[in-house]
Amino acid sequence: MPRQVDHVGRRRTIAEAVCRLAGERGLEGVTLRDVAARAGVSMGAVQRCFRTKEEMLVFALGYVSERVGERVRARLVRSPAQSAGTALGHAAAEVSLLGDEHRAEARVWLAFVAQAAVSDTLAGTLRANYAGLHEVFVRLIAEAAEGAGREAPLDPQREARALLALADGLTVHVLVGHLTPQEAHDVLHAHLAGLWE
């Protein structure tokens, strides 16, 4: 009887290998041969899962996005009694990848962002990811503004765009050593506090 192959599991294993290599060397250091070796599978297995390197990279980017999205969702449901403003702060901190435990993932994320500047396919995947995060941020900003009884009008769409841009920018500043993670958290929380003044 032929052995059953878990294709979904194998694709995830390959995506994890891509991420580890990208975190160490950037995307230019990701080769099919190295991915196969890191994943513990043959090159043929990689090629059966992904027709091209770009297809493999798109899947890996989706895998990283999924992990960040899962953490954001977990932070939103962890405490249903938390205010929308607190939930927004938690979600923005997760997206910023500022924790030491997310440093490798932050390097991978930025490698994909850099590559997306020259890859329409990766750029499309990133746009879809940002659109989903934007919707979550818009909803939380609107709820938090209402809960804070804010008098001045607040444009949740604009503020969500600014918060996403700030989150990515803070990721860069921490990775290159311009800010410490704590300084980045302080900047993020100061920005969020300013929304409700």
**78-131 per-position pLDDT tens digit:** 666 678 888 888 889 989 988 888 888 888 888 889 989 999 999 999 999 999
Q: Total structural domains in the chain?
A: 1
CATH code, 146:
1.10.357.10
Angle at the Cα of 163 from the Cα atoms of 160 and 168, rounded to 5 degrees: 130
Domain that holds residue 81: 58-195
Asked, for residue 16, whether it belongs to a domain, the answer is no
* pLDDT (tens digit per residue) in 11-50: 999 999 999 998 888 888 888 899 999 999 999 999 999 9
Query: Is 107 in contact with 22 (CB distance < 8 Å)?
Result: yes
At residue 141, what are phi and psi to the nearest 5 degrees? -65, -45
Q: Is 136 a member of any domain?
A: yes
Residue at 25 is within a domain? no
Residue 50, in any domain of the structure: no
φ and ψ at residue 2, rounded to 5 degrees: -65, 145
The first and second tokens of residue 89, run together, are: 């702060």
Single pTM value for the model? 0.83
